[in-house]
């Protein structure tokens, strides 16, 4: 398909208040693409219901996630910002792609294994086929690049395999997307258990720093972060906690490991943790202020959603009609 711009697509689930993992691993990089790229950023509410959600909270978090996109620097005039359930082509293509995705492939997904262990009372079919909906999100827009944290690499590999399989059967239909994973911040770990990914749906508030936490909470959470019994600020075996704090500090300040080691030589963990907290709180303060302003203007957020959905739908519909034709579906004549 002829494209005059590279296409970027990514999504975040409105399944909780976003963490610095979401920020450093994903959203901050959404603003990294120059103007010769067309960027789509979606609030993936259909993915969020693979885990049980309280309706009023899902609705509020959907507004919040969109407001955070904008507060983090995404200009709705320059990017297509929208809500997944507003563009019905996502669910439609997901069904079709389900028929080109193997049971064995889905069974190997680590996110499925983790989430089904965590929600053993609700291992629904949507949780299992989550990656086909994610592939649909990406492939609908002929996406070239997908900025995500490293935990999504396996899902992205599967999206590529599905695209190549479909193209192999029916001739070139989808662009095969590439992941775009940041060097610093690709995998931020929990502050309470640094062997586990920081996750917005974690119930332990001390494990996660949220983008919208106030300064005092941020500093307190870093102070309490689990480290080890040593005192040297450097990476090493048994030092996952310190290593994680070094990654966070590096992502916020741009300093390298060697520079960080030198800065905190002989100063102990207490001072280091305080510095990480300050750097994080400083970086997030303007985001929080802008977020608060935007949440006071629902009408504006709804205008952004409506404009984004209309733009997205136009391009999604083009891919859908190509897909239907290739598969052998009869294009419905409108009006019916």
Task: Provide the annotated active-site residues.
Answer: 115, 197, 200
Least distance (Å) from ligand ATP to the CB of residue 253? 17
* 3-class secondary structure, 80: strand
Q: Which residue lies nearer to ligand LTN by CB, 10 or 80?
A: 10
Q: How far apart are CA 99 and CA 113, in angstroms?
A: 21
Q: For 43, how many CA atoms within 13 A lie in the half-sphere containing its CB?
A: 30
Least distance (Å) from ligand ATP to the CB of residue 1? 25
Torsion of CA 252, 257, 261, 267, to 10 degrees: 30
Q: Which residue lies nearer to ligand LTN by CB, 152 or 315?
A: 152
Which of ligand ATP, ligand LTN, none is residue 22 near (CB under 5 to 8 Å by kind)? ligand ATP
| Cα distances (Å, whole numbers) of residue 96 to 3, 89, 163, 322 | 24, 11, 12, 13
The answer to the question of residue 253 lying near ligand LTN (CB under 6 A) is no
Q: Map residues 12-41 to x or -, x wherever contact with ligand LTN holds by CB under 6 A.
A: -x----------------------------
Least distance (Å) from ligand LTN to the CB of residue 42? 7
For 22, the token pair is 């979401």
Q: At what angle do helices 298-327 and 268-295 cross, to 10 degrees?
A: 90
Interface stretch with ligand LTN, choices 74-82, 120-128, 146-154, 266-274 (CB under 6 A): 146-154
Q: How far apart are CA 307 and CA 210, in angstroms?
A: 28
Least distance (Å) from ligand ATP to the CB of residue 329? 32
Among 8, 10, 252, 269, indicate the residue that binds ligand LTN (CB under 6 A). Answer: 10
Please list, in sequence order, all residues whose beta carbon lies within 8 angstroms of the beta carbon of residue 302, skipping any fewer than 6 positions away.
none
Among 39, 44, 162, 188, indicate the residue that binds ligand LTN (CB under 6 A). Answer: 44
Please list, in sequence order, all residues whose beta carbon lies within 8 angstroms of the beta carbon of residue 322, skipping any fewer than 6 positions away.
173
Which of ligand ATP, ligand LTN, none is residue 219 near (CB under 5 to 8 Å by kind)? none
Among 45, 64, 89, 137, indicate the residue that binds ligand LTN (CB under 6 A). Answer: 137
Among 83, 146, 219, 251, indicate the residue that binds ligand LTN (CB under 6 A). Answer: 146
Among 47, 115, 160, 197, indicate the residue that binds ligand LTN (CB under 6 A). Answer: 47
Angle at 127 between CA 96 and CA 117, to 5 degrees: 155
Which of ligand ATP, ligand LTN, none is residue 231 near (CB under 5 to 8 Å by kind)? none
Residue 13's closest CA among 255, 156, 141, 200?
200
Give the residue ranges of DSSP H helices in the chain.
Answer: 20-22, 28-30, 45-48, 55-71, 89-98, 103-107, 110-118, 125-139, 153-170, 215-223, 240-253, 257-263, 268-295, 298-327
Q: Which residue lies nearer to ligand ATP by CB, 12 or 320?
A: 12
Q: Which residues bind ligand ATP (CB under 6 A)?
A: 12-13, 15-16, 19, 21-22, 24-26, 148-149, 151-152, 186-188, 197-201
* 3-class secondary structure, 41: strand
CB 213 within 8 A of CB 221: yes
> Residue 50 phi/psi, 5° resolution?
-70, -15
Nearest residue (beta carbon) to ligand ATP: 25
Q: Which residue lies nearer to ligand LTN by CB, 9 or 222?
A: 9
Q: Which residue lies nearer to ligand LTN by CB, 114 or 257?
A: 114
Interface with ligand LTN by CB under 6 A: which residues? 9-11, 13, 44, 47, 134, 137-138, 146, 148, 152, 155
């Amino acid at each position: 398909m002829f494209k005059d711009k590279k296409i970027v697509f990514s999504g975040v689930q409105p399944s909780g208040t976003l963490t610095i993992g979401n920020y450093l691993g994903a959203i901050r990089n959404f603003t990294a693409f120059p103007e010769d790229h067309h960027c789509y950023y979606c609030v993936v509410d259909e993915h969020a219901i693979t885990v049980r959600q309280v309706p009023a909270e899902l609705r509020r978090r959907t507004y919040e996630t969109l407001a955070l996109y904008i507060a983090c620097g995404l200009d709705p005039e320059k990017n297509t910002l929208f809500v997944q359930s507003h563009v019905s082509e996502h669910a439609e293509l997901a069904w079709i792609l389900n028929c080109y995705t193997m049971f064995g492939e889905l069974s190997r997904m680590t996110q499925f294994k983790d989430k089904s262990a965590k929600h053993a009372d609700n291992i629904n079919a949507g949780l299992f086929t989550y990656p086909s909906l994610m592939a649909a999100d990406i492939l609908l827009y002929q996406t070239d690049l997908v900025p995500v944290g490293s935990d999504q690499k396996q899902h992205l590999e599967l999206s590529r395999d599905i695209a190549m399989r479909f193209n192999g059967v029916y001739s070139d239909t989808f662009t095969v997307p590439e992941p775009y994973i940041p060097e610093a911040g690709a995998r931020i770990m929990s502050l309470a258990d640094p062997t586990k990914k920081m996750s917005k749906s974690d119930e332990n508030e001390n494990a996660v720093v949220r983008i919208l936490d106030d300064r005092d909470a941020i500093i307190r959470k870093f102070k309490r972060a689990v480290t080890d019994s040593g005192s040297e600020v450097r990476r090493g075996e048994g030092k996952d906690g310190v290593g994680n704090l070094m990654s966070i500090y590096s992502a916020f300040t741009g300093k390298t490991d060697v520079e960080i080691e030198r800065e905190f030589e002989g100063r102990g963990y207490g001072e280091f943790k305080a510095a990480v907290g300050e750097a994080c709180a400083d970086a997030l303060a303007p985001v929080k202020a802008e977020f608060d302003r935007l949440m006071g203007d629902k009408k504006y957020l709804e205008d952004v959603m409506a404009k984004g959905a209309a733009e997205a739908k136009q391009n999604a519909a083009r891919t859908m009609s190509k897909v239907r034709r290739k598969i052998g579906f009869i294009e419905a004549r409108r009006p019916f």
